[in-house]
Structure 1
Amino acid sequence: MGTLVNYMTEKGVAVLTLSDPPVNAYTHEMLKELDACILEARFDNDVHVIVITGHGDKFFCAGANINMLREADSTFKYYFCLHANETISRLEQTPKLCIAALNGHTVGGGLEIALACDLRIARAGDFQLGLPEVALGVLPGTGGTQRLARMVGKARAIEMMVEGTKMNTNRAAELGLVNKVWATDSNEEFLRKVIDYARAFCPPAGAAKAVGAIKRSVQSGLETSLEQGLALERELQAELFASNDAKEGLNAYAEKRKPQFRGR
């Protein structure tokens, strides 16, 4: 689609690759392309899962481009952060499973993008994850303070951000920041493995509509009271019960056969 975010689809999976070597740092231009790609995947009925990864085998994304931030005026920086927040929230609110394939260093705004995905899978290696913005005299301003605290708790999140801690993938997995760490011989093999994993959530084997509803129920519901969250859950469940996939799933169970889902 664009030059800074590569967009491709493969059998139900849209793969968005942040592509600005050497560190895939993002600019307003990259975020505009990312935004467009998220919308493209959202409107494509044949896309059921979104995978985000970085170009090359060293960096997923090193966050915002520092030179751009040095040169921009305060008004631009404010709107840059606002747009970044809106783009990342769009990813989080899309009722399709979003997987971050962390192929290299994932720091600053790079980790903030990953935190807005539903699952994070890291390639085993000598990679660092963290929110070190404090060393620049600023805070993690693209959702980092909010999403990290929701994921690991207040005390640990504050500690990580004020210390500017960087950690390896195994430590990130221990803290629950990363869901899986996969050892592969190459980045190509890693991405192939993530796409194959993502395809398990796509029709005919995967109930993509239910997967999307589970994601939405958690992402939106946890930001409300328990009672409101339960109300959202009931509404989503009612939609699912009315779907072809639920009829197929229940019939297949009764007939002791594998369901053939259609995502409808």
Structure 2
Amino acid sequence: MNHIVLSKRENVGYITLNRAPANAYNLDLMTELHQAVVDMNADSSVGALVVNSQSEKFFCAGADIKEFQTNDTATNQKLVDMARRTTAALEQSDKVVIAQVSGHALGGGLELIMACDLRFAAKGNYLLGLPEIKLGLIPGNGGSQRLVRLVGLAKALEFLATGDSFSVNTATEMGLINQLVEKDQLDQFTFEYAKKIADGPLLAVTATKKALRQGVELTLEEGLALEQKLVNELYDTKDAAEGFNAFIDKRPAVFQGQ
């Protein structure tokens, strides 16, 4: 049975976690997930990407602790390495990646969400958190580094030092979740946002993601140089010409990603 389901809705791609009951990941699931991200990134018909879950209650409960406990160290290291490769692939994708969350996201599950570019969530009583310290560990798939960049030092330390979980409302208040909507509206809300991106000038969208993802790690001077390089590469594109022409003609632009 495949643990990952791939699908498309128009020009929006979907990667759906599907390992009942809680999407706890093992090496097979993480390997499938990594390949799914690679395949979707290579698919020119996909303009934006959504990562979601088949489960009603869980986005992802993190690593399968039972398997982790019984595996030898070398096997567990393969799992951790693949999880790191997968989060990096999400982060480095040319496409904007949206996590669509409506259930518990703990440990490695939250790390997956944080590797996405945007996080849209349903209102509800489920929890998020990085509980690794309760096992005598710290997050190993980028959890500490991504959390501190998303919510700041004080908030990140507050939750990492105890491993306590927090509500989706708290996650929204501290900026971890971008949009919090009614559960029955989440699918359509996420699709409409992703569709808006997918219909846009994809070369410019990719450049925007690079400018922000890379620029935040640079000095202002270096970031400005990066921005200049990226925008210079867009001036002669067909999409830029279409954008200017559509503006002058007072009509909607029709972009081709070229």
TM norm. shorter chain > 0.5:
yes
Aligned to 1:153: 152
SS at match of 2:141: coil
Deviations 1:74-117, CA, capped at 9 Å, x for gaps: 22222321221111101101111000000211111111000011
Tell me what 2:190 maps to.
Answer: 194
The residue type equivalent to 1:251 in the other structure is N
After superposition, residues 28-67 of structure 1 pair within 5 angstroms as 28-67=27-66
What is the CA distance between 1:230 and its match in structure 2? Answer: 2.0
> Which residue is equivalent to 1:237?
231
- Distance apart, 1:242 and its partner CA: 2.0
Aligned residue for 1:223? 217
Query: Which secondary structure state, in structure 2, belongs to the residue aligned with residue 241 of structure 1?
Result: coil
User: Within 2, Cα distance between the matches of 1:118 and 1:46?
Assistant: 20
Cα distance, 1:217 vs. partner? 1.3
Please tell me the root mean square deviation across aligned C-alpha atoms, in Å. Answer: 1.4
Task: Tell me the percent identity.
Answer: 39
Runs of 4+ in 1 over 3 A off after TM superposition: none
- DSSP-derived class of the 1:53 partner: strand
Q: Number of matched residues?
A: 258
Following the alignment from structure 1 to structure 2, what is the Cα–Cα distance between the partners of residues 84 and 214?
A: 26
Quote the offset at 1:228 in angstroms. Answer: 2.5
Q: Which runs of 5+ in 2 are unaligned?
A: none
Give the drift of 1:137.
1.6
Q: Does 1:247 align with 2:241?
A: yes
Residue 80 of structure 1: aligned partner = 79
| Structure 1 portions without partners, runs of 5+ | none
Q: Which amino acid aligns with 1:190?
A: L
Contact 2:144/2:156 (<8 A) preserved: yes
The one-character-per-residue Cα deviations of 1:11-59 (angstroms, maximum 9, x if unpaired) are 1111000110111111111111111111111111111111001112111
Q: What's the TM-score, normalizing by structure 1?
A: 0.93
Partner of 1:260: 254
Distance of 2:26 and 2:226 partners within structure 1: 36
